[in-house]
Amino acid sequence: MFLVIWGHCVQFMLTSDYLDEPAFVYIYSFHLPLFFMISGLFVHNEQLSPSACGQQLLVKARQLLLPCLSWGLLMSAGNLVQSLLSGTPSVHSLTDTLVNNFWFLKSLFVCFLLWYVSITFLRRRWLALIVSLLISQCITEWSVQWSYPTFAIGIAIAPYLSRIRQYRHRIALIALIIGGVLLIFWNRSHLTIPSVYTWAELAPQTVLANIGMRLYKIAVNIALSLGLIALFLGLESRLQLASQPAVLVRFASWGKLTLGIYIIHTLIIIVRERLCPDLLCCDSLNPWLFNTVIAPLTAAMLLLVSVYVTQGIMRLPRLSFFLLGTPWRKRQSA
């Protein structure tokens, strides 16, 4: 989540094209794929009946879609007030906000949906993975075509996690070397690859080039994500939280707040962009100073603020249900 915020700081604290910024381009080579691969690791891999599939999707809808709807309605109300004050009321902003806000969470929900439906009706695990992977390449909304491949790899390697842990050093070294070599050829064009629906209008040579770029991008995503997961498993074996200082244990617990961190920091960035876009505008700074010092420091501060706001919301069970998708809990009496 720190890397997500860092990328957003680079994107929104400059008026120039953020695709020209090296920090943004290289962060986006692995940070979202890493998150989706980790999410895939935690997917239940047994065959699911249609009823169990429905129950799982309801849980995911509460966790991922309910916060999008709740925050979307609040954001739409703010947009409506702003448009009325400016004398240009518009319904388009309402629909646009509800559809496009927090695309990251909607993309993750579609990944779960695609997998649960595939494994339920195809039964065979590897067949479900292959078919769902092919289908994902035709889903361009919310970047599912890029999210699902690493999500599927997470599902695929989940049963072999103990083996990966056993050979974590070799896997981390090999995967990161491969990813690092592939990264030499990485550039901004790999963040804007045309969707499959535009291929009919392109020349055959261009279509082949797009297929090659798509496979290359997925290979970079998988290599770096798998290498980092193996590296984290190595750190896990050395770092036993029970014997660590309380500060480190609290820091580790922030991993449970990723949804809130993502939503809160996004809202802060949106409000800043709407109300005071000149605040923290860094166009005049040296690009390398901004990318490597100012942006990550700002991201760290936004991370801390988002953590504490999220923890504050979680202290109010009913509010936390609607805004963070936590299970419904009645307030306990004294």
Is 185 among the domain residues? Answer: no
For residue 67, pLDDT beyond 90: yes
> What pTM value is reported for the model?
0.87
Q: What is the DSSP string of 15-81?
A: SS-GGG-HHHHHHTTTHHHHHHHHHHHTS--S---HHHHHHHHHHHIIIIIHHHHHHHHHHHHHHHH
Comparing C-alpha atoms, which of 232, 299, 254 is closest to residue 27?
299
Is 178 among the domain residues? Answer: no
Average pLDDT over residues 64-90: 79
Each residue's pLDDT tens digit, 153-210: 999 998 888 898 889 899 999 999 999 999 999 988 888 877 777 766 777 777 788 8
Which domain range does residue 24 map to?
2-161+257-324
Q: How many domains does the chain have?
A: 1
Is 320 among the domain residues? Answer: yes
Is 312 among the domain residues? Answer: yes
Each residue's pLDDT tens digit, 16-46: 888 888 889 999 898 899 999 999 988 865 5
Q: What is the pLDDT of residue 244?
A: 65
Is 299 among the domain residues? Answer: yes
Report the distance separating Cα 183 and Cα 292, nearest Å: 18
Is 220 among the domain residues? Answer: no
Report residue 279's pLDDT band, with 50, 70 and 90 as the boundaries.
Answer: confident
Each residue's pLDDT tens digit, 246-259: 767 777 788 889 99
Is 206 among the domain residues? Answer: no
Is 10 among the domain residues? Answer: yes
